[in-house]
Structure 1
Amino acid sequence: MSPHRIALIGYRGTGKTTVARHLAELLQCKWIDADVELERRAGKSIAAIFADEGEGAFRDLEAAVVADLCGRGGLVAALGGGAVLREDNRAAIAACDATVWLRASAAEIERRLSGDPTTAGRRPNLTNTGGRQEIDRLLGERTPIYAACATLVVDTDDKAPEAIAAEIAAHLAPGPT
């Protein structure tokens, strides 16, 4: 299974990074969090990129990372929540063997983000509202895009990351011939 190129997409807080780690272990391949890779390349946090250079510069950096990660074999890539917003990113994502949308309810996302102490420092608000209003608005905008990109949709509410990874791996396993 290691030649697979798998992209995990979905809103922030849906479990992409944690599931990527578990899925890569099951598939015996590597995994990379696109946001961490972007920060490594930029030499600063996403919040600092937004503050210093703006969202446009962040999205340009993100596009380079998405193209690179989606072009690699033997990799599970946990992409940023907004990676699907650009057409060139969607084209790169479409080249993956599987694009898995990790879907969670707005209430679950809010619960997870409020319980994550790194969220405020690493992930800037994307609207002037923040909180549940931001989640509702952005989910409304992004849900059709996630759906169009996904080859598999996995609901993550009330599921352990290990169970989600196992569910994805089962879908990726070749069927009987």
Structure 2
Amino acid sequence: MNLILIGYRATGKTTVARLLAERLGWEWHDVDPEIEREAGKPIDRIFAEDGEPHFRDIESRVLARLCDGEHRIVACGGGTPLRPQNQEVIRKTGKTVWLTATPETIHRRMTQDPLSAQRRPNLTNVGGLQEVIDLLEKRSPVYRKLADWIVDTENRTPEEITEEILEHFRPFVER
């Protein structure tokens, strides 16, 4: 079994994946850096030069590879769960945790992290807080459908979030 973290950007997926892996002694992977490694360029350049469909194709290959195994923590990109083939991989290979936050918190976290703004392009022409609101409205039903557990990250430390996930999934991860 694997633990797969889903949710919008800036909800703590990468940080929590690393902490979970440390606590469980499992390997952890972040889909976005693996996409960049496979493409040989950063995400913003993939979008600009090759387009979103090409990015999503790479993302699907990377997800399938990272989930092919046991005892892995996989931090998905925010849009990873949108493709039906990715949903199937996620469902079949592990338990899924949806990390949530309000649109305002997500936007604040994104703007406070210069690397996030630099590496990740706007996904619509709107940008900013309105983009977060619009995309969460579109993505939340997919996240909800896939989630075995939902964790609100508002005003919580990554350690608190990690502990909640471990408590909930202890029967599955201690086998």
TM-score under structure 2 normalisation?
0.96
Aligned residue runs from structure 1 range 8-87, under 5 A:
8-87=5-84
List gaps (5 residues or longer) in structure 1: none
List gaps (5 residues or longer) in structure 2: none
The structure with more helix, counted as a fraction of residues: 2
Computed over aligned residues only, the root mean square deviation of the Cα atoms, in angstroms, reads 1.0
- Counterpart amino acid of 1:116? D
- Please give the alpha-carbon distance, in whole angstroms, between the structure 1 residues aligned to 2:11 and 2:141: 16
TM-score under structure 1 normalisation?
0.95
Deviations 1:4-59 (A, max 9, x none): 31110000010000000001111111111100111111110000100110000000
Q: Does 1:158 align with 2:161?
A: no
- Please give the alpha-carbon distance, in whole angstroms, between the structure 2 residues aligned to 1:57 and 1:72: 25
SS in 1 for 2:114: coil
1:174 CA displacement: 1.6
Query: Which residue is 2:100 aligned to?
Result: 103
- Please give the alpha-carbon distance, in whole angstroms, between the structure 1 residues aligned to 2:18 and 2:12: 10
- Please give the alpha-carbon distance, in whole angstroms, between the structure 1 residues aligned to 2:94 and 2:56: 23
- Please give the alpha-carbon distance, in whole angstroms, between the structure 2 residues aligned to 1:154 and 1:94: 18
- Please give the alpha-carbon distance, in whole angstroms, between the structure 2 residues aligned to 1:112 and 1:137: 17
- Please give the alpha-carbon distance, in whole angstroms, between the structure 2 residues aligned to 1:72 and 1:132: 37
Deviations 1:39-81 (A, max 9, x none): 1111100001001100000000000011111222111000000
**Equivalences, count:** 172
Runs of 4+ in 1 over 4 A off after TM superposition: none
